[in-house]
Amino acid sequence: MSRQEAAAQYSAALKQGRKTYREYVIRGRYPYPQVLDEIISETMVAGQMDLGVLEIPTDQITGTKTAGRRSAFAADFMPLLDADTEFGGKWMDLCQAHLGDEGIRDPIRCYEYLGRFYVQEGNKRVSVLKSYGAPTIPGHVIRMVPVWSSEQEILAYYDFMDYYTQTRLYRVRFSRVGSFPKLQKALGYEPDHIWTEDERRRFAAGFIYFQEPFGKLGGGELPITAADALLVWLKVYHFDDLLGFSAAELMKSVQAVWGDVKALSEPIAVETDAPAEPRDNGLFGRLFKGKPSHLNVAFISDQTPEQSDWARAHDLGRQYLEAVMGDRITTQVFNGVRPGQEAEAAMEEAVEHGAQVVFAVTPPLIGACRKAAARHPEVRVLNCSVSMPYAGVRTYYSRIYEGKYIAGAIAGALSRNGRIGYVASNPIFGVPASINAFALGAQLTNPNARIILRWSCVEEDAMDDLAWQGVSLISNRDIPTPDRIREPWGLCRIQNGKFHSLASPYWHWGNVYTNLIRGIFNGSWDVQGAHEGQAVNYWWGMNSRAIDILLADDLPAGVRQLADILRRGIIDGSIQPFQGATPEEILHMDRLVDCVEGGIPRYEELLPMARPIARLQGVYRDTILPEKEDPIL
């Protein structure tokens, strides 16, 4: 390489450096490389680890160890000093060496802290190699281990350190704990698989390829990593697709899931009220001129109404929707399709036959929903579940805890000794809220009430066990629909050795489906989804007629009147079981109130048949290692 060529390279790098400097100043950001000695103190470091010489990702070199020479570089390590300075001359010497016969072979020396590298020796080498777009730079690395804390960044870093021994890749950095096992699964590896050198190189090549569309779509401005985004992409596509796509095909595939990528940095929007009809004039009138006059709606279930009360309840909801909407809708029904390829094929068939809306009525179908939403962004895809962070798939469920609060008040009013049993289903989102609401309702009418908690996912004879202990009032599994009354259901009283049902919350899926379809017809669907990149969860209660409570005919008149008062208060908002709590806090409760005797069972304690739903919707799902048959959440 001639000196003239080196001078031209320096001129281009200098231009870029001064541009970066100006942009950072305008934005109010620090325009030079960060200095590690100014960022951390001794109290922030638990120890050091000598990692030897590694291939360091160039884009993770963000600063210097000490303050010396920092003003010679912009934040991106491009030079700021004139070419005729001593600094400029040495920079061009290195530039000639880089493209000469020997190249730059000496590794830099640097420190790593929280996944970012700070150069101690070799700043100009970094600058030269960055100017040529080198993806990695060899460097001798000292890891500065941060003091452990419960902060999300620290937890994620400790998670990274655990899995670094398996991957040996610094590029693989996630912002959330529990992501590495999901990556292992997505790549077809066992959780404890140690990567080979060929596997590391193959992944690094694909990951660098993926980073280009991630950056072009604005990923650098999001509070997530490229690895976070890749994991979202791998929920729809295979890693082999990444290596086989052209640049245009890869960009199109990333754009298809970009809403879900952005949703990682946004809280899930919990819609607690059914949509109101927007006005047709003004802004709404201009926005929603293309509102549909007819909709083709598909319902997909992994069970049949004959096999499952849950599937039957949703099928009755479909029939109610058809009766209300008449010829404004056409429906398709796919029952008994297994999650995975069979469900994906059913959704593809529904779309081929004109489906504009797809309702998948159980959580295990979420994987197929994700793929359908990415392939067909024009189709509205919904899954009956909660807390799924996907902008492309909306979720819907009901606030059953409101009915549990009323049932608890009834139990407290009828209890003679204050000992009331409660059989919970599974430790999934919303269930702790139902337990707590029932307990608070019981204490409303009986301040000395104690709730004896059991779990049907742990012991199959939980009801009989409570009865054997002398508990005479027990909250059991709720009825799915008011026409399917099979004792013991809901709140039961034991009389003469038999269970007698007193009250039970129930779902009204027909109202849920009618409200959702009306929302599409009147344009409120678009209003609720107006914040691009935000996942939407419909979590409706009594005020939207999504749930109600069925009372036994022989319930005492005073207790019935109390239940009616509580029901009206919950509907009009004057009574709230969890006063002051946000919907997100209620939905994600993972602790129980003091009057509950018992706790939330661990995953290892669950019966085998209960474990799949805990993996999908469990309050501790992020701590469970994935299995090969699981969808990647």
Going by the DSSP 8-state scheme, the letter that residue 15 receives in this structure is: H
pLDDT tens across 380-407, in order?
Answer: 999 999 888 788 899 999 999 999 999 9
CB atoms near residue 207 (< 10 Å): 20
Q: Which domains does the chain have, with CATH numbers?
A: 1-147 (3.90.1530.10), 148-265 (no CATH), 271-397+511-539 (3.40.50.2300), 401-508+546-623 (3.40.50.2300)
Give the model's pLDDT for residue 629.
54
pLDDT tens across 217-228, in order?
Answer: 999 888 889 999
- Tokens, residue 314: 């949703």
What pTM value is reported for the model? Answer: 0.77
Give the model's pLDDT for residue 529.
56
- Tokens, residue 84: 């005729």
Return the axis-axis angle of helices 557-572 and 401-414, rounded to nearest 10°.
Answer: 150
pLDDT tens across 165-194, in order?
Answer: 999 888 888 888 888 888 988 898 888 899
Give the model's pLDDT for residue 630.
56
pLDDT tens across 448-482, in order?
Answer: 999 999 999 998 888 888 988 889 999 998 876 66
How many angstroms separate the CA atoms of 98 and 599, rounded?
Answer: 63
- To the nearest 10°, the Cα dihedral for 559, 563, 566, 568? -130
The residues pairing with 64 across neighbouring beta strands, listed in sequence order, are 35, 119
How many angstroms separate the CA atoms of 252 and 245, rounded?
Answer: 10
How many angstroms separate the CA atoms of 20 and 198, rounded?
Answer: 36
**Of residues 594 and 624, which shows the higher confidence score?**
594
Three-state secondary structure along 353-387? Answer: CCCCEEEECCHHHHHHHHHHHHHCCCCEEEECCCC
DSSP string covering 478-519: PPSSTT---SS-SEEEEETTEEEEEEEEEE-HHHHHHHHHHH
> Which residue, chain included where needed, has tokens 């997530």?
224
pLDDT tens across 234-289, in order?
Answer: 988 999 988 899 999 999 999 988 888 888 777 777 888 876 655 554 444 444 44
Give burial (CB, 10 Å; 0-12/13-18/19+) of 525: buried
pLDDT band at residue 101 under the 50/70/90 scheme:
low
Distances (CA, A) of 539 to 276, 404, 518, 584: 15, 16, 16, 10
Max mean pLDDT among 80-84, 92-96, 222-226, 435-439 falls in 435-439
DSSP string covering 510-544: HHHHHHHHHHHHHTHHHHHT-STT--EEEEE-GGG
pLDDT tens across 282-330, in order?
Answer: 444 444 445 789 999 999 999 999 988 899 999 999 999 999 999 999 9
pLDDT tens across 323-379, in order?
Answer: 999 999 999 999 999 998 999 999 999 999 999 999 999 999 999 999 999 899 999
Whether cis (ω within 30° of 0) applies to the bond prior to 488 is: yes
pLDDT band at residue 78 under the 50/70/90 scheme:
very high
How many angstroms separate the CA atoms of 468 and 271, rounded?
Answer: 42
CB atoms near residue 249 (< 10 Å): 12
